């Protein structure tokens, strides 16, 4: 380990390993710093590995678990996940760095009578919530943003810096802003 991480890196890994065993015994490795908010509304599954600077937060008005992470999920540095209704991440999902996943936003902007007023203060607007489901064996590239109401099908690949605002079919590769299907895998 010393040759791979150096002296300071090895110390950091040992501290992270001890922290993981004490605070998250089902996880594989939680690198520090790690910010988890409202842990009682979060199910981390087994075998979770995180990079540094991850922020995972869940809020529930009905005292139910709103963030469910499957088994053997690996998220790299600076992943931010917010859940108010439900965010469900399947098994064997790989998340690159700097990813944002949220099932909520400050206000509604879908073009109906319930839309938020642009004259109101953003933090005072009612939250709009729609479930986010990410199925098994998905690979999410660097800098991807997954917005409320999206379902990502099994075995999908989301290209770097994509903004995903619509469902992603099973066995497909998507990319762009907004994300579009580039290829269907057979």
Active site residues: 106
Task: Please state, in angstroms and rounded to a whole number, the distance separating the CA atoms of residues 110 and 99.
Answer: 24
DSSP classification of residue 61: S
Residues 6+ apart with CB under 8 A from 151: 131, 132, 133, 134, 135, 167, 168
Task: Please state, in angstroms and rounded to a whole number, the distance separating the CA atoms of residues 176 and 159.
Answer: 7
Burial of 3 (0-12, 13-18, 19+ CB in 10 A): exposed
Nearest to 143 by CA among 84, 93, 47, 76: 76
Task: Please state, in angstroms and rounded to a whole number, the distance separating the CA atoms of residues 62 and 82.
Answer: 16
The values of phi and psi at residue 122, to 5°, are: -50, -45
């Amino acid at each position: 380990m010393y040759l791979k991480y150096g002296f300071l890196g090895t110390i950091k890994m040992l501290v992270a390993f001890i922290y993981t065993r004490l605070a998250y015994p089902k996880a594989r490795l939680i690198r520090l710093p790690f910010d988890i908010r409202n842990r009682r509304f979060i199910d981390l599954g087994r075998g979770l590995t995180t990079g540094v600077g991850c922020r995972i937060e869940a809020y529930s008005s009905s005292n139910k678990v709103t963030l469910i992470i499957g088994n053997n999920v690996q998220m790299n540095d600076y992943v931010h996940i917010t859940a108010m209704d439900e965010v469900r991440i399947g098994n064997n999902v790989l998340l690159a760095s700097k990813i944002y996943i949220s099932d909520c936003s400050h206000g509604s902007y879908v073009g109906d009578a319930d839309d938020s007023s642009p004259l109101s203060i953003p933090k005072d607007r009612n939250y709009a919530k729609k479930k986010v489901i990410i199925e098994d064996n998905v690979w999410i590239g660097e800098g991807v943003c997954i917005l409320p109401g999206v379902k990502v099908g099994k075995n999908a690949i989301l290209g770097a810096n994509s903004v995903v605002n619509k469902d992603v079919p099973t066995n497909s590769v998507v990319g762009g802003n907004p994300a579009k299907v580039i290829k269907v895998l057979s």
